[in-house]
Structure 1
Amino acid sequence: MHYRTLGDSDVEVSEVGFGAWTVGTDWWGDRTDEDALAMLDHALERGITYFDTGDVYGHGRSEELVGEAFSDRREEVTIATKVGYDFYNNPQAGHGELPKEMDPEYLREAVEKSLGRLDTDYVDVLQLHNADVGELTPEVLDVLDELESEGRIRARGLALGPSIGWLAEGDRAIAEGFDAVQLVWNLFEQEVGNHFLETIEELDAETSLIPRVPHSSGLLNEQVTPETELGEGDHRGFRPDAWYETGWEKLETLRFLEREGERTMGQASIRWLLAHDAVASVTPTFRTTDDIDEWTAASDVPALSEEEVDRVAELYATNFGIERDDGMDSLRSSVEGEDLREAGIEKQPAD
């Protein structure tokens, strides 16, 4: 495992991180607490030091499990969490999005509660969870300054989602000197990541990018094939059928990234993201210890050649030679699509 520094902070992260949204919830398959703790322990043994959780995951349960796993090894790990969804006063309705709350006083209280569940005095990275650009107010930024000066957080980030997009938000975070922006970014979904690379270059910014969903919901690691039957409650089942069908066709055009005995497609998908200097850590969705073993090795497998990177860019520019629509033709925008139009992205904002 190799390690990189987050933004202009002194926070070190492993090139492959652990997205702890998979523990403490059943959205990505159910598992016992014992299984979850074993996965966290196994990840650390394999060199992962960056663990990314959030207060809303399992309504605090994910944080509790991370805290339980590492309370006696706190200095060995880098813990990131997220705040901004008020699950304390609102019931969870299936996979629906909870009301957000970015009031400065609420954020302070939420951070303190997260610290308690994590059994720690500080978090290495605090991320605002899906904040709209209008919610990144001077008062909110002041709270982040205060928390950092008090030693409660070491670095600040913005986690974007759940829909793919939010260009205005990421651009604002980069302009404000956030240490990290987390986003959906993979070989099949590149618009947002490519845009932020341009923003970072234009502003000569130090912000790091943290891609999640590097395997495009199971397509690029081939955990979802035409024969796969997704279990009830599996989050991947919320993608349209056309998206999967088109993805399987795209996958075949990327087989050149595989190297028998050296690099699997799942590893190549992570390695492609790590080829970008702005990327600090990639957080795949681990479901088993076998996943951990394979994907942590992505930090050490052969890097993509310049020719391979160029070929990927050419394929993406031509939609991998596929004319059929994939059913995912909208990007998220909180500013009525103005950010998408300015970026030259022709897709329409989601309703």
Structure 2
Amino acid sequence: MDLRQLGNSNVSVSPVTFGAWAIGGWMWGGSEEQDSIAAIQASIDAGVTSIDTAAIYGQGHSEELVAKAIKGRRDKVQILTKCGMRWDDARGSDPWATLNNQGRAITVTRNSKADSIAHECEQSLRRLGVDVIDVYQIHWPDLTTPIDESIEAMYKLQKAGKVRAIGVSNYNLKQISTADSWLKEHGSVLASHQPPYSVINRGIEKEILAYCRQMNVGIVCYSPMERGLLTGKYGPDHKFPAGDHRNNYKAFKPDVRKSVAAALAQVKSIADRHKASFAQLIVNWTFSEPGITAALVGARNAEQAVHNAGAMAFRLSDVERQQIRAAFSPAAELMGGDGAPARPGAQT
């Protein structure tokens, strides 16, 4: 499948984009470095040329792994990363106590102050081993910093040639509109928004999706498979180890799991028709929805990466897409449908 232009920017991305949160190890129980590198390289070879990471993922570790994986392949990939979540600066909003990969206590804050964004960009460029970031995104809104200040800082990075396109993540409609308007007034564009979205988490359809369609802001959504739930691997009785963030995530409540299992049974014939797994079917449905540019999908090894790329190998009909939507509507109702991102512990 061809690359898709991200909004009105000069960056295009693959419909399946490699999500590099899990390979950073943080909150996912760790991963083998060579497996992670192999997963990214296999993705690139299979046509998944866009890689989404963030400074906070493993406190820089994910970006460092991405650098190793793309060495000698920079011209074949699009790098998306994020700023705005600091573990080494006490300023900002929503302080959150957690543990790093080594088990040491850290406090994470949402920090989108101008000087912090400039500092983070330099650190990400260094860790990634690149001269320019294709899409630089503000990870979470910082309620202690005016959006205009944050967006102006991103704009300056773009004018300096360090960033090709500007994006935001986990913003509400008013915040997206403010960022979009500021950039247009200054001759630039908001390339993308990164919200949670899946066949059972449709909250952005109420307002945000319509706005982004109208204003041509690309959407690169995260959690299209709801942390693996929609793959069919985790039935109602599956137990996760202590410390796994899915233990506290609403999609894994017993009633939602039962509803998802019933929905998967209903759509099995569609998956079989396309010789696709449940995971491939769900990801294809997600990036096929009007207004969705790409869906983030993670992989821990090369086999998973190649499998994920298979989601781009077929096309769902409009009737099939509606059938899939209808099958999962009961689960979507149980989820609440507000689409609001959870606190950082459950984020992308």
TM-score exceeds 0.5: yes
Partner of 1:308: 320
Alignment-mate amino acid for residue 99 of structure 2:
G
Does 1:188 pair with 2:200?
A: yes
**Offset, 1:330:** 6.6
Q: What is the SS of the residue equivalent to 1:93?
A: strand
Does 1:278 pair with 2:291?
A: yes
Residue of structure 1 aligned with 2:147, choices 112, 137, 147: 137
TM-score by length of 2: 0.83
Q: Tell me if structure 1 keeps the 8 A contact 2:148–2:178.
A: no
Distance change in 2, residues 1:131/1:48 (3 Å): same
Task: Work out the CA distance in 2 between the residues paired with 1:276 and 1:39.
Answer: 26
Residue of structure 1 aligned with 2:253, choices 240, 243, 253: 243
**Offset, 1:304:** 2.1
Partner of 1:124: 134
Alignment-mate amino acid for residue 60 of structure 1:
G
Partner of 1:103: 113
Does 1:159 pair with 2:164?
A: no
Q: Tell me if structure 1 keeps the 8 A contact 2:199–2:224.
A: yes
Task: Work out the CA distance in 2 between the residues paired with 1:27 and 1:214.
Answer: 18
Q: What is the SS of the residue equivalent to 2:164?
A: strand
Partner of 1:262: 275
Partner of 2:210: 198
Q: Tell me if structure 2 keeps the 8 A contact 1:4–1:280.
A: yes
TM-score by length of 1: 0.82
Distance change in 2, residues 1:272/1:173 (3 Å): farther
Distance change in 2, residues 1:77/1:157 (3 Å): same
Structure 2 unaligned spans of 5+: 91-95, 101-105, 183-188, 343-348
Q: How does 1:34-183 map to 2 (within 5 A)?
A: 34-89=34-89, 93-94=98-99, 98-132=108-142, 135-160=145-170, 166-176=172-182, 177-183=189-195
Partner of 1:216: 226
Partner of 1:347: none
**Offset, 1:278:** 2.0
**Offset, 1:321:** 9.8
Residue of structure 1 aligned with 2:302, choices 269, 289, 292: 289
CA deviation digits over 1:175-201, x for unaligned, max 9? 554101111100110112453221134
Task: Work out the CA distance in 1 between the residues paired with 2:173 and 2:330.
Answer: 21
State percent identity of aligned pairs.
24
**Offset, 1:289:** 2.7
Task: Please say which of residues 47-56 and 240-249 is displaced more in the overlay.
Answer: 240-249
Task: Work out the CA distance in 2 between the residues paired with 1:299 and 1:136.
Answer: 39
Task: Work out the CA distance in 1 between the residues paired with 2:54 and 2:20.
Answer: 8
Structure 1 unaligned spans of 5+: 335-351
**Offset, 1:100:** 1.5
**Offset, 1:261:** 5.7
Distance change in 2, residues 1:30/1:232 (3 Å): farther
Q: Tell me if structure 1 keeps the 8 A contact 2:111–2:142.
A: no
Residue of structure 2 aligned with 1:319, choices 312, 330, 333: 330
**Offset, 1:262:** 1.8
Task: Please say which of residues 192-201 and 29-38 is displaced more in the overlay.
Answer: 192-201
**Offset, 1:311:** 3.3
Relative contact order, higher structure (CA 8 A, sep 6+): 2
Q: What is the SS of the residue equivalent to 1:28?
A: coil
Q: For this pair of structures, how many residues does the alignment match?
A: 323
Partner of 2:186: none
Task: Work out the CA distance in 2 between the residues paired with 1:169 and 1:77.
Answer: 29
Alignment-mate amino acid for residue 217 of structure 1:
R
**Offset, 1:145:** 1.6
**Offset, 1:314:** 4.3
Distance change in 2, residues 1:321/1:58 (3 Å): closer
Task: Work out the CA distance in 1 between the residues paired with 2:208 and 2:320.
Answer: 22
Partner of 1:11: 11
**Offset, 1:312:** 4.1
Q: CA RMSD, aligned part only?
A: 2.8
